[in-house]
Structure 1
Amino acid sequence: MSQKKLIFGVAGVVVVIIGAAAILYSTMRPTGSAFIDPADQSLVIQGKAIYAKNCAACHGESLQGQPSWRERMANGRLPAPPHDKTGHTWHHPDVMLIDMVKNGLVPGKTAPPGYQSDMPAYGAVLTDEEIIAVLAYIKSTWPPKVLQAQKEVTMQRRD
């Protein structure tokens, strides 16, 4: 009888651990429907400072990107694209933008298979909240129609 209790006790602990892990995973994982709203001015101000320190060297102080950003450089890689309305940042859902900043461009995930990029991963440099602030700043510069289009892309994305 005590062996039966031990088995049930261990099984119960395993179920609790698996349940806790599932809850932790689901709460830490970015969802496809989360929209970063640039209406929070304090977030935008914070994001502008973080962008200036970490992103502007490549993507430009005015979010203009590098010259000829659609043409491959001598190393075969593309220059940093603009993050203003003329670029393609707004074509991507927020969950993908967060992933790109956090992990860099990952071939087969956030870039085509075999793609090479000079985009570094900032996951060890910036917190998730700082990445969100940067994206809020970038989005705060977009005209309403562009912001609405990006919001629709974000809200349609389901992981």
Structure 2
Amino acid sequence: MRYVFGLVMVASASYASHEFDGRDIVSGAALYAEHCASCHGVDLEGQPDWRVADADGVLPAPPHDETGHTWHHSSQHLFDYTKLGGQEALTRMGVQGFTSGMPGFAETLSDGEIWQILAFIASTWPKRQAEVQAGRNPKH
């Protein structure tokens, strides 16, 4: 967890999308450690071979750092994926032919806690990835 908390200290919120603004990223880091790190890695590195589906067609947990593609999605999509679970979020979006192993956290985490986790993750991205992700969100 040393690496993750070190990133919190140097992260710049100036590139975060508005849903992440004002969030407690230290609490987000702690919540990530408790609820997400077992699958997505202590250092946000994801599981090995995360792009190769298992025998059931489910991909391993992807990284949330700049090497993954979490930052390719809008903040609302990331929130829905976390709250509802991957399969439910994809079904609601009309995506077919993809099986997600991501569980939903609606019964475990409050909406605010989910946003804190996502703000923490976003706070670790380099400037380029943060800017790309911020551009995927509606302007307010």
Q: What range is the shorter-chain TM-score in?
A: 0.7 to 0.9
Matched, 1:147 2:92: no
Q: Any idea what the Cα deviations from partners look like across 1:63-102, whole Å, max 9, x if unmatched?
A: 0000010011122210000000011110111111100000
Moved over 2 A (4+): 34-38, 106-112
Which of 1, 26, 34 aligns to 1:53? It is 34
Contact conserved, 2:20 with 2:118, CA < 8 A, in 1?
no
Taking structure 2 as the reference length, the TM-score comes to: 0.79
Unpaired segments ≥5 residues, structure 1:
1-33
| 1:5-154 to 2 correspondences below 5 Å | 35-37=18-20, 40=22, 43-105=24-86, 106=88, 107-110=90-93, 112-154=95-137
Where relative contact order (Cα < 8 A, 6+ residues apart) is larger, the structure is 2
Q: Larger radius of gyration, structure 1 or 2?
A: 1
**For the residues of structure 2 that align with 1:83 and 1:96, how far apart are their CA atoms?**
14
C-alpha RMSD of the superposition = 1.8
TM superposition shift of 1:122:
0.1
Query: Quick one: percent identity of the two aligned structures?
Result: 42
